[in-house]
Amino acid sequence: MGQIYLQMVLAVLLGGVLGLEREMAGKTAGLRTYALVSLGACLFSLISSNAFSTLVGSSSFDPSRIASQIVVGVGFIGAGVIFVSKEKIRGLTTAAGLWVSAAVGMAVAYRLYDIAIFGTALTLVVFVFFWFLEKKIIKNLTKNEDEPSSY
């Protein structure tokens, strides 16, 4: 049983790391939200894999149903943070990050620790490095294309 508690703590920590980056970026969903999404996904996955283990021989039990419902449920939460105004979409990266945070929590629950940690690290690369790439390089290129040519 101690293993389960450590898994829950790891899910909170990894989700919290993602949320901390979002918090520092000034986004609406931050540390607590990401940690809770990761923990919730971990809990549902732990319940799926442990609490119903006595039903594994049953033909009507399918543990993957819980996992698929986590994906759908987090998608619903993510939809709540996406806003569209004046042809500008806001919150899409936050929604995607919440979705990944749920996957991290599920990976922890299924004891795929390497995948959970690596997934967290890759998500941070997307949040930080890709943001830098987008801001400094891509937007400057498109800004220059919109300006009239000098000749």
pLDDT in tens, 60-81: 667 677 777 887 888 778 777 7
- List the structure tokens of 3: 């293993």
**pTM across the whole model:** 0.78
Task: Note the pLDDT of residue 151.
Answer: 45
